[in-house]
Amino acid sequence: MIFHNEHKEIEELEEEGFWDVNPRTVTFFLAALALIVAIITFLSFYDGWKVKSQEEVATYVNEMNQFLTKSKQYSDSVEDSLKNGTATMFTKKDEQEFRTLMDTAGKLPFPSKWKEHQEAAAGLISARFMFFYHYQQDIRLGEEDMEKKLSELEKLEKEEKEVLLSSFDASGIPYHETEEGKITFSIKTY
């Protein structure tokens, strides 16, 4: 029986020794665990902020693109009329719609690092409006004046595109430009 009792005491001592942990070790492991949780939380919030920021950029770019496309339709109609020698009739409603489009584009809220693009795009839309307005008011443009205006519009279009690409770079948003000049970009979403 004595042997059995000694075996039991040894097991109790081993169990007590297993749970006997240095308090400094426990503190170290708890601090390390807290640090890991803090880092994961920070990265989660940072990722969420970045996704929200990229979604704002996508919304802005899509809205501004709609304004640019609509203004280009108006200026292209005028250009075609002038080059073909045909008269396209625009109404006061067309003028008012274009003016509203121009005003809305100028007031469109823009994301951080996109102010320069908003200014370039609003400037391009304003120049297109003036081209349209002169035509609608029956202000005759000579061949040389027309080429000058079209050249100015083309220059503003190139500037807007360059600023667009630099704004994508500044925001850290990857993009791809096709041979036709179409720009596609991708953002992270949840």
Residue 189 covered by a domain: yes
Mean pLDDT (whole number) for 53-60: 90
Q: Comparing C-alpha atoms, which of 81, 55, 67, 54 is closest to residue 173?
A: 54
Q: What dihedral angle (degrees, nearest 10) is formed by the CA atoms of 154, 160, 166, 168? A: -120
178 and 98 belong to one structural domain: yes
- Write out the residue range of the structural domain in which residue 3 sits: 1-48
Beta strand extents in the chain (DSSP E only)? 175-177, 183-185
Instruction: Give this prediction's pTM.
Output: 0.75
Question: Taking 80 as the threshold, does the pLDDT of residue 117 lie above it?
Answer: yes
Residue 18 covered by a domain: yes
Question: Taking 60 as the threshold, does the pLDDT of residue 119 lie above it?
Answer: yes
pLDDT on residue 63: 95
Question: Taking 80 as the threshold, does the pLDDT of residue 3 lie above it?
Answer: no
Mean pLDDT (whole number) for 105-126: 94
Q: Which residues pair with 175 in a beta bridge?
A: 185
80 and 140 belong to one structural domain: yes
8 and 93 belong to one structural domain: no
Question: Taking 90 as the threshold, does the pLDDT of residue 164 lie above it?
Answer: yes
In whole numbers, what is the pLDDT of the chain averaged over residues? 85
**Total tally of structural domains belonging to the chain:** 2
Residue pLDDT, tens place only, 22-51? 778 878 888 988 999 989 988 888 878 788
